[in-house]
């Protein structure tokens, strides 16, 4: 098992508190080393998560706060 696999297996996954209103179906995120963030589907936690750099995650959060993804 490589270092990333070990890190993912012990990662502190969390989901938004508002996900309860969606039957808990959402994504989970986990902080990883080097500022990376793991992103996975709560309905399929056994599948490999997406791993993004800190800059990508920060840009996503910034866009979400600004309403860029609102419908």
Place of tokens 């500022």: 35
CA distance 11 to 33: 10
What is residue 22's predicted lDDT score, i.e. its pLDDT? 61
Q: In terms of residues, how long is the chain?
A: 71
Helices (H), the chain: 3-9, 54-65
What is residue 26's predicted lDDT score, i.e. its pLDDT? 85
What is residue 43's predicted lDDT score, i.e. its pLDDT? 87
pLDDT by residue, tens only, the chain of 71 residues: 678 889 999 999 998 777 766 666 788 999 999 999 999 998 888 899 999 999 999 999 999 999 999 98
CA distance 60 to 52: 10
């Amino acid at each position: 098992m490589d270092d990333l696999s070990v890190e993912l297996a012990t990662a502190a996954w969390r989901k938004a508190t508002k996900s309860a209103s969606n039957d808990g179906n959402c994504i989970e995120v986990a902080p990883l080393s080097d500022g990376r963030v793991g992103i996975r589907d709560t309905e399929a936690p056994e599948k490999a998560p997406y791993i993004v750099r800190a800059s990508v995650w920060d840009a996503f959060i910034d866009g979400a706060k600004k309403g860029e993804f609102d419908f």
